Amino acid sequence: MTSQGRKKQFGQHFLADPNILGVIERLAELGPDDVVLEIGPGEGVLTRYLAERVRHVHAVEIDRELEPALRDIAANVDVVFGDALQLDLPQDATKLVANLPYNVATPLIVESLDGLPNVGLWCVMVQREVADRFFATPGTKDYGAVSVLVQLAAERTGFHPVSRTVFRPPPNVDSALVAFRRTELPAGYARIKQVVAAAFGHRRKTLPNSLALAGLVSREQAAAALDALGRPVNTRAEALAPPEFVALAEALG
C-alpha cells in the first residue's frame, strides 16, 4: 500500500499551518502542569508545540511509517504505536488535545468520557459535522447518541471553524476545533450509555420498539418508563433531552 493510501486508510490529514497551533493553545488552556494525551500525532507538528508548553505528552500513533518523524521529539514526550481504540490509554492524562483521525474521532471521544476520568478538558480537531453533533440540540438532524453522552459529561467552552488549507493533504470535508470541559458524570453512567445506544440504534422507530429490538427491556417496560417521564408511547430518541435519558435509565431500573 502506498504512503498516500495508508494515510487515507487511517483518516490522517497532517497539520501544515502553524497559525492554528495558537488557537489550539488558547482553546486547550494549556499550562505547565498539564499531562496531555494526543491521539494521531502524525508528523509531530502539534506534539512539538505541546511539549514546549506542558509537563508531559503521551502520543499514540497507529502508523509505524511515521516513527522516524516522531523519534526523539523531547524528553517529556512518549510515543506509543498502536490503535488507540485497542490500547490501555494513560490514566494520568489531564487533557486530550489532538487532531483526531476522522475515522475514529467519535468512538474515541465517547470512550474517553468515562474511560479517562482524569481528563478534565478536551480540545480536538474533527470533521465539522462531528463537531456539530457533540452539542446538537434535541430534534435536530445532528442530534444523536454522541450528543447525549458528551452533553451529560461535559460543557462546551470553545469552537473554531478550520479551513481545509491547514491540512496536508487537504481533506474533502470542513473541520472544526471544539473544546469542552468535564462536568460531573451522572450516577449509573454505564447503564445510561446502554440505554442511549439502544435508543438511537433504530432511529426511525419509537423508543419502546428500539429498546425492545436491542434486547434491553420489553416494549411494555419501555412504554411504562416513558409514561413515568410524561412522554407518549410514540416518542422517538431524538425528542429526549440528555437529562431525560438519565431519568429514562432510572425508570427502566
Domain of 49, in residue numbers: 3-182
Of the candidates 132, 162, 182, which is a domain's last residue? 182
Domain boundary among 166, 182, 198: 182
CA distances from 148 to 11, 19, 173 (A): 25, 32, 24
How many CA atoms are closer than 13 Å to the CA of 137, on its beta-carbon side? 0
Distance CA 1, CA 242 (A): 43
The helix or strand, by DSSP H or E, that contains position 47, with its residue range, turns out to be helix 45-51
**Are 9 and 53 part of one and the same domain?**
yes
| CA of residue 85 relative to chain centroid, distance | 12
Domains in the chain: how many in total? 2
Asked whether the whole model's pTM tops 0.85, one would answer yes
CATH value at residue 18: 3.40.50.150
List the one residue out of 149, 174, 150, 153 whose CA is nearest residue 164: 174
| CA–CA separation, 206 and 233 (whole Å) | 7
DSSP 8-state assignment for residue 186 = P
First CA to last CA across the chain, in angstroms?
50
Could you read off the pLDDT tens digit of each residue along the chain, which spans 253 residues?
Answer: 233 333 444 445 666 567 789 999 999 999 999 999 999 999 999 999 999 999 999 999 999 999 999 998 999 999 999 999 999 999 999 999 999 988 899 999 999 999 999 999 999 999 999 999 999 999 999 999 999 999 999 999 999 999 877 766 766 788 999 999 999 999 999 999 999 999 999 988 999 999 999 999 999 999 999 999 999 999 999 999 999 999 999 999 8
Stated as kind and residue range, the H or E segment containing 158 is strand 154-162
